[in-house]
Amino acid sequence: MLTSKKLLTTLLTSSLLLFTACSDDKPQQTRKAPPPLKINTITVKKEAVPIWKQYTGLTKASSDQDVRARVSGTLEKIYFKDGQAVVKGQKLFKIEQTEYIAALNAAKAKKRQDEASLDLAEADVNRYKPLVEEGLAPRATLEQYQAQKTGLQAAIAGDIAKINSAKLQLSYTIIKAPISGHVSARRVDIGNLVGQGESTLLTTIVKTDPIYAYFSPSQSDVHLFNKYRDSDRPDVFIEVAGSQDKIRLNGFVDFSNNTVDPLTSTISMRATINNKDGLVLPGTFVYINLFLNDKFEFLMIPPEVIFNDQLGSYVYLVDENSTLKRADIKTGYSSKYYIAVREGIKDGDKLAVSALVKLKEGRKVIATDVTETEGIQAILKKNKLIPEAK
């Protein structure tokens, strides 16, 4: 162990060396300010902006028809492939016709027989009528022939009805598409007996153009919608959730339920969507964007330029000295495309919209105005959010 004298000597020596080292240091140089940051800005402006509300919903076929056998018989032919598109009136199935052709021919033969009897009855009436008038034949015989004539006329009317019925039954053996749409898989194969005691389900057809999209806004949203909408058939467009290819289809709202769901306080609404290319099938989960109005002015900014901390929401503006400054804001209506600012910025302010992670209050910048390409109106046009004039 070191003695106390040696320990003291060691400490004095170390202190001397430390003092000497510190005395040799050069004064620290002043750190240079960073060069101006190059950023893009947009000029904010209070203006009329189309207001859209987004909801989630499900699509449903605009028509869903069961195709059934209306007469009994053996299924003889199938004229379609499972899943194909068909048009209204297109042949789908054929049921054996022999029995129904025979019934039609029998009804026609019965009519010809009754027509021949009617001709004879008319001849008898025409022959006896002048004889009765001259008193050469009894009136009872004439009346008998007249009754036969009337009865045969009624029988022929019945024959015509039976012929029409037989034709109808025969027509049912050729089963046609009741609507245009996509046919499902066949439910019965060739050779099976169908329609025996029941209207056998053969297939189904769904109509997907147009296609319906059902959604359920809240009761308060519906009141807001009814208050501010400017059309009896407001515009909508749907987007398919999770699709790799961007699918957007336009349509309009044509139905709103007249009751509120007591469990969810929502009201069911329906949009009719143009789906001529069949891009969306029934049962698809979609985003439904509902247009409200474009007559009210808002000061809108892109949502991605807004920062948040413990003090609230804020953005960075560029002042007249090309310096960044923080502006605390209060927001209002919002969507994924824009947010309304109620307080904190004003018309003509230059809003920083790029290099967001490098922005810092007081930093000098070189700003390039990109309002024409990245401003709110440009965003609206890019995303087709400006409804066409009606």
- Provide DSSP, 60-89: EEEEEEEEE-SS-EEEEEE-S-TT-EE-TT
Assign 343 a pLDDT band (cuts: 50, 70, 90).
very high
Cβ atoms within 10 Å, residue 57: 23
Q: What is the pLDDT of residue 94?
A: 97
Q: What SS3 state is found at 246?
A: coil
Q: What is the pLDDT of residue 30?
A: 60
State percent of the chain over pLDDT 90.
Answer: 70
**Contact (CB, 8 A) for 294 and 50:** yes
Tokens found for residue 329: 């804001």
Instruction: List Cα–Cα distances, 78 to 88, 175, 269, 359, in angstroms.
Output: 16, 10, 39, 70
Assign 29 a pLDDT band (cuts: 50, 70, 90).
low
**Contact (CB, 8 A) for 75 and 188:** yes
Report pLDDT digits (tens) over 314-332: 999 999 999 999 999 999 8
Q: What is the pLDDT of residue 274?
A: 96
Q: What is the pLDDT of residue 335?
A: 86
Q: What is the pLDDT of residue 145?
A: 84
Assign 8 a pLDDT band (cuts: 50, 70, 90).
very low
Q: What is the pLDDT of residue 16?
A: 43
Q: What is the pLDDT of residue 13?
A: 52
Cβ atoms within 10 Å, residue 189: 8
State percent of the chain over pLDDT 70.
Answer: 91
CA distance 79 to 90: 9
CA distance 325 to 367: 13
> What dihedral do alpha carbons 363, 368, 373, 379 form, nearest 10°?
20
Cβ atoms within 10 Å, residue 341: 24
Q: Which residues contact 335 (CB under 8 A, 6 or more apart)?
A: 52, 53, 54
CA distance 130 to 139: 11
- Mean pLDDT of the residues in the chain: 89
Report pLDDT digits (tens) over 232-286: 889 999 999 777 778 999 999 999 998 999 999 999 999 999 999 989 999 999 9
With vertex at residue 244, the alpha carbon angle to CA 289 and CA 292, rounded to the nearest 5 degrees, is 5
**Contact (CB, 8 A) for 311 and 353:** no
Cβ atoms within 10 Å, residue 112: 11
Look up the pTM and report it.
0.73
Q: What is the pLDDT of residue 34?
A: 83
**Contact (CB, 8 A) for 42 and 375:** yes
CA distance 342 to 333: 9
With vertex at residue 162, the alpha carbon angle to CA 111 and CA 99, rounded to the nearest 5 degrees, is 100
Structural domains in the chain plus CATH codes: 37-49+296-382 (2.40.420.20), 54-60+207-293 (2.40.30.170), 66-94+174-203 (2.40.50.100), 98-171 (1.10.287)
Report the amino acid identity of residue 206: V
Q: What is the pLDDT of residue 300?
A: 95
Q: Which residues contact 154 (CB under 8 A, 6 or more apart)?
A: none
Report pLDDT digits (tens) over 60-104: 999 999 999 999 999 999 999 999 999 999 999 999 999 999 999
CA distance 62 to 266: 22
Closest among 352, 355, 319 to 34, alpha carbons compared: 355
Report pLDDT digits (tens) over 127-143: 888 887 888 888 888 88
Q: What is the pLDDT of residue 20?
A: 47
Q: What SS3 state is found at 197?
A: coil
Buried (b) or exposed (e) across 173-185, using 16+ Cβ within 10 A? bebbbbbbbbbee
**Contact (CB, 8 A) for 313 and 355:** no
Assign 7 a pLDDT band (cuts: 50, 70, 90).
very low
Q: What is the pLDDT of residue 19?
A: 44
